[in-house]
Amino acid sequence: MSAPGTIHGVGLGPGAVDLMSVRADRLLRNARHVAFFRKAGRAGQARGIVEGLLHPEAVEFPMEYPVTTEIPLSDPRYNEILSEFYETCAAHLRALSAQGEDVVVLCEGDPFFYGSFMHLHSRLTGNTPVQVVPATTGMSAAWTATGQPVTWGDDVLTVLMGTLPEGDLTRRMKDTDALVVMKIGRNMPKIRRALESAGLLARAWLVQYAAMARETVQPLAEADCENAPYFSIVIVHGQGRRP
């Protein structure tokens, strides 16, 4: 019997091809099997990043989310549907590994930072060889786009999800020095109110499509939007100790 193949969770970074690591590039160009997540009917952001890099004979396995925003997160069906989806995807990858095939799973940003790959990793680890290639996160691309350091000296950095209740957002915003807010979308009005309550709105920046061709950077207080694109991040810079 052949040795089992390895499932590689490969971080692609924030979206610019030249921000990928050398290791990621090498694995991509030599991959015989490539898997990636996408919304139904879409090409997929991760797949778009690597356009032109894959071997022409690579076998692609698109993993289409069965649900995104159609069902509220609080609905028990949401977790049930996604859990079954991840189990099915993991089973397919496990079968390829059992045949001795290596698989590269494309991951936007870093695989272990709020990425879908971690749900495959938890199901594969222990029965299938898995390796992870880290990458530049979207948030580091976002604060770099502002042209300012995000933390100084002993600043504490907090990363929040815009899906949290407004009260939790406000409380945590008040208790930090530097701030990143992700998963904005339709939560923008709530996030703005929380920032204002925490006294941070005047220091907040909205970065959209960081490190991509459509990148925009503007003070959040001046942003005219009720909703933000998926690739949007709010940054509040720390003001800590410096020489």
Tokens of 25: 């590039």
The identity of residue 79, as a single letter, is: N
Helix (H) / strand (E) containing 169: helix 166-174
In angstroms, rounded to a whole number, what is the distance separating the alpha carbons of residues 20 and 35? Answer: 17
Q: Report whether pLDDT(17) > 70.
A: yes
Q: Which domains does the chain have, with CATH numbers?
A: 7-136 (3.40.1010.10), 139-236 (3.30.950.10)
Evaluate if pTM is beyond 0.85: yes
Helix (H) or strand (E) holding 182: strand 178-182
Tens digit of pLDDT for each residue in 34-56?
999 999 888 899 999 999 999 99
Is 115's pLDDT higher than 70? yes
Structure tokens at 85: 């989806």
Q: What is the number of other CB atoms lying within 10 angstroms of the CB of residue 108?
A: 26
Strand partners, 219: 205
| Amino acid 2: pLDDT | 80
Type of residue found at 52: G
SS3 172: helix
- Model confidence band, residue 71 (pLDDT cutoffs 50, 70, 90): confident
Greatest CA separation for the chain: 63
Side chain identity at residue 136, one-letter code: T
Half-sphere exposure of 232 (CA within 13 A, CB side): 22
Each residue's pLDDT tens digit, 91-103: 999 999 999 999 9
